[in-house]
Amino acid sequence: MNAPGTQRALRWYPPREELPVTGERWSDWRRWLVFKLGIAAANIRREARAVVVEAQAHQHLSDPQLAQRLLAQSETLSRAWRRGVPAERKQFLSTLSLVCEGAGRRLGMRPYPVQVRAALGLLAGCAVQMKAGEGKTLSVALAAAMHGLSGRHCHIVTANDYLAGRDVELMRPLYDLCRLRAAALDPESDPDERIDCYSNDLVYATGKELLADFLRDRLGGASSGTGALRTLRSMQIGKGSVVMRGLDAAIVDEADSVLIDEATTPLIISSGEGNEMLIEAVKVARDLCDDLVEGQHYKIDQRFRDVKFTDEGFEFIEEITRHLPGLWRSEARREDLLGQAVVARDLFERDRHYIIQDDEVVIVDENTGRTMPGRSWSYGLHQAVEARAGVEMTEPARTIARMSFQDFYARYQHLSGASGTLQGVGFELWRTYGLPSVVVPPRLPNRLRVPRPRHFASWDAKFAALIDTTVALQQAGNAVLVGTRRISEIGRAHV
């Protein structure tokens, strides 16, 4: 966090208001061809080797001399960025070599050429494929440090809050050498603490926290257009409604998952809206849906978690709701209520999609397995799940702001990402975000062994084999990570 008495930076980094459409200009296709034909990759490989060689030449510098050179280079790079002109390439690479030398001294990690290649790919606005264990965290830190030294405000998007806190502390000695302030965004922090966090040069956070703050800022009046002056004044006050500093540069870890798999899901900010009639209707729908039979009255789309009623189902619904008053007389309303009730019963499992904590439904993030207190499903689904779980129902929510993660990430002025699994999504990343893909080979031959799948006749037999294999690996001195689909299975594994 900030040092005591540090003045919060007042620079505002306006997000994109008009989202770019990749492929409309010839320059987009020319850039894509340069990467597709391997020309860009060859240039990056050549530059990475030169950076590593130059970094070795800096070993004679004392720590104060290294820090002084970093400061001088930062001033030059920042001046070029503020003027809107690209920095001289030779000077840019020279600065990166100083950062690499700093990583070797402060972190005990002297970057290999492949890690420098990954950092250069990120700085070029690419999606970098780098296998697990190749030093992706260090490569991201090198790129983030270069953004900071160039005067840019950089968000490092991590898969979860734990990784955000771990990575920033792991890389802090390097950032301190570069005189860059870095912090991880605590999801439990209040607005004033968030203002303090975003005042840092580098911010580690999850995409959910960043998008939520972005939407709240827009509700509070943050703007990149005519409201920019008002935004700056709010930032100057320091305790105003705006907590972020805009959207400048972002480096996304696990880019395939964050930018593609989960990107179309919207994040919604809502407020409670008292509606006793609707709450009672949800309870009635919970009871009525038990009379509906899958295949006969409805069909389920597992992929989109949607329910489609059959002709027989429509007739049956009309018959069982004929005597009900109020909103049940609306055909669309009753089908929506019963559809949500069926989804809550058939598609949302307790201890997998949610848990009951303090007599409340708490959503479980399916990608991380972590709980998300305070979050709720939209369009009445949360109330349907609460009714099915038998807990006290919360008020239906009214949407006051929403945005998909895809739209959010496209608003950054400079976007890049890294992942170990970009196979099959390269073209989609380019068309959606304008990110060409760069594959960084492993430094050493791959020694990973993947055994053939094993099949079991029963769950008990599979679980016994899992325990036996885990114990054998542990006795051999290997660390073992066991993933489960349901939270309840974790307790069984402990037994």
pLDDT the model gives residue 267: 85
pLDDT the model gives residue 492: 62
pLDDT the model gives residue 240: 55
The DSSP symbol for 106 reads H
Burial class (CB in 10 A: 0-12, 13-18, 19+), 28: middle
Ordered DSSP codes for 176-235: HHTT--EEE--TT--HHHHHHHHTSSEEEEEHHHHHHHHHHHHHTT--SSTTHHHHHHHH
Q: At what angle do helices 136-149 and 161-177 cross, to 10 degrees?
A: 50
pLDDT the model gives residue 321: 93
pLDDT in tens, the chain (495 residues): 444 334 444 588 889 888 878 888 888 889 989 998 999 999 999 999 999 999 999 999 999 999 999 999 999 999 999 898 889 999 999 999 999 999 999 999 999 999 999 999 999 999 999 988 899 999 999 999 999 999 999 999 998 899 999 999 999 999 999 999 999 999 989 999 999 999 999 999 999 999 999 999 888 766 544 444 445 444 544 445 689 999 999 999 999 889 988 888 788 887 766 678 888 999 999 999 999 999 999 999 887 788 999 999 999 999 999 999 878 988 999 999 999 999 999 999 998 899 999 999 999 987 667 788 888 887 789 999 999 999 999 887 777 888 999 999 999 999 999 998 888 888 899 989 999 999 999 998 887 788 899 999 998 899 899 999 999 999 999 888 887 776 666 666 554
Nearest to 116 by CA among 133, 106, 103: 103
Q: What distance in Å separates the CA atoms of residue 151 and residue 131, rounded to the nearest whole number?
A: 30
Q: What distance in Å separates the CA atoms of residue 339 and residue 304, rounded to the nearest whole number?
A: 13
Question: Which uninterrupted H or E stretch holds 283?
Answer: helix 276-288
Nearest to 207 by CA among 403, 491, 478: 403
Per DSSP, the three-state class of 404 is strand
pLDDT the model gives residue 266: 84
pLDDT the model gives residue 28: 87
pLDDT the model gives residue 449: 81
Q: What distance in Å separates the CA atoms of residue 28 and residue 430, rounded to the nearest whole number?
A: 9
